Every structure is written in structure tokens, then in C-alpha cells.
Amino acid sequence: MKNKIAQPVLKWAGGKRQLLPEIKKLIPNGFRTYYEPFLGGGAVLFFLQPRHAIVNDNNAELINMYIVIRDNVDELIQDLKKHHNESDYFYKIRELDRTSKYNDLNPIQKASRLIYLNKTCYNGLFRVNKNGEFNAPFGRYKNPNIVNEIVLRAVSNYLNENHVEFLNVDFEQAVTGSRRTSFIYFDPPYYPISDSSNFTGYTLDGFTKDDQIRLKNLCDMLNNRGVRWLLSNSSSPFIIDLYRDYHIDYVIANRKINSNVDGRGEVKEVLIRNYEVEADR
């Protein structure tokens, strides 16, 4: 039985919660191991709640948070309770990764800091500068839910009751063990429709056009091996042309996070797959 309370802990740019009804229609039957090389907020993982999963993200802080939720949820909840929704305190905590004090934090304190900053920063956006330092400003929310104990415990229970392996490697390496009985969901940083819509800033090295091409080549290799995959991305002409040999479904998402106000609101995105849905039902 799925635990509906197990859901994303963080607000994440490009999160898939609102697209779950469309994604659900395209999930194939009969897979044994679920792979997600770009985990992010984990909306699809917590929606599917597979018994066997191998998930990955290039953001080491994010992966540390999930491991702490799995292994030390009680200590994490206690540490979260120490935080204050105050501007001076926020910037004091934010500045830690600019000093050697960050290295003195243990994994629980690092996970607590990440959740706190995500809940209290402007727009709930995890964003780092070129030096890898968190740089989103204080959000000035009246009553942010910093300690969502019910959700944290539900996520911890799911991770402990099932076999979910966490990786912090390149996306190609994250799917090396996949086979015909696997299903992979790719949710990479989207290729920008315009310069203002590029949200590759959640990892220090970003995600380039060459990375998009490398991902497409990986999808081709997986397709040749008979591994089923579903991929989400922007509906840019570059992406449409790149995956022209596969099934492409257009969906509408309501994006609230964009550096340009004109880029917010309803946005056309794509879900791309290498299998027939009808054949799997």
C-alpha cells in the first residue's frame, strides 16, 4: 500500500507534482527496478513508491538530505526545531557555506540547513552561484512549515521499508545496471526556451547543450538494449528535433519559478518515451 503522506520534502525548480496525472498515464507495467538519474524533489519517486529503486542527483547536499531522512529522521526533526524564520538568522545560516564552518557541520546539520533554507528563502528556490554558494534571498514568509514532521516520517518510513539506493554520480553512471526489467524516468534540467528560462543553477556545473546531446545518446543506447525510459523536457525546437524518432506527448505545466516574470505561468512541456503505452497495459 502506498503512503499518500510520503511526498516531496522540498520545493524544487521544475518539480513534477502537477504533472503526475499525465506521467501516470505513461508509466509502463511490469518493471522490477525503477531508476531516476535526476531525482530533484522526488515527486515521481514518492508517487510511484517502487519497492526497488536506484535514484541519483548531481547535488550532493540533496542526496545527503535523503539519506539523513532515511537513517536519522528523529535527529533531523530535532535539529530543524532550532531554526528561526528571521532575516538575520537566515543570512547567518546561508553564509555558512562561504566559510570553513560549513565543513564542521555533520550530515544531519547539513540536511537541516538545506530544508530550512528551502522553506524560508524567496520562492523556495535552491540556487547556488558559480562558487557553489547558496544565494537565494530571504523570503519573508509569515509562517513557513520548517518542521513538517508528518511528511518527514512518512518519507523515512517509505525509504526504510523498501530498497532505495541513493547515488551522487553522473547520470550515465547512474543507469549502468539497468536492464529490460527496469524503467527509467529522466527529468534533466530543461533545455531553455529562452535565456531567461534556464534553471541549471541547482548544481555548480550546470547542464549544457552537450549534456543534453549526451543524454539523448544514452537514451538511444538504452533503447537498443530494450530498456524502457520516459523523459521530460521543454518543448524547444532543439529537444523536439533531437528526439524526433520517439513518442512525444505535449503537456501543459504551470511554472511559478522563473527569473523573468514573462516566463511564468502556463508552459508547454514534453514527455518523451521509447515504448508503446498500449502494449504495456
Average pLDDT estimate for 105-124: 96
Q: What letter would DSSP give residue 18?
A: G
> CA-CA distance, 3 to 216, in Å (whole number)?
34
Average pLDDT score over the chain: 91
The pLDDT assigned to 130 comes to 82
60-64, 200-204, 209-213: least confident range: 200-204
Going through the chain in order, the beta strands assigned E by DSSP cover 33-36, 52-56, 163-167, 182-186, 228-234, 247-255, 265-273
Checking if the pLDDT of 13 tops 90, the result is: no
The SS3 of residue 49 is coil
Checking if the pLDDT of 257 tops 60, the result is: no
The pLDDT assigned to 128 comes to 84
Max distance between CA atoms of the chain, in angstroms, equals: 57
Residue 104: pLDDT band (50, 70, 90) is very high
The pLDDT assigned to 262 comes to 44
Average pLDDT estimate for 162-176: 98
> CA-CA distance, 258 to 71, in Å (whole number)?
34
58-67, 90-99, 127-136: least confident range: 127-136
The pLDDT assigned to 70 comes to 98
pLDDT digits (tens, 9 = 90+) for 39-74: 999 999 999 999 999 999 999 999 999 999 999 999
Checking if the pLDDT of 96 tops 70, the result is: yes
Identify the helix (H) or strand (E) that includes residue 64: helix 60-71
Q: Which residue has the higher pLDDT, 79 or 124?
A: 79
pLDDT digits (tens, 9 = 90+) for 216-231: 999 999 999 999 999 9
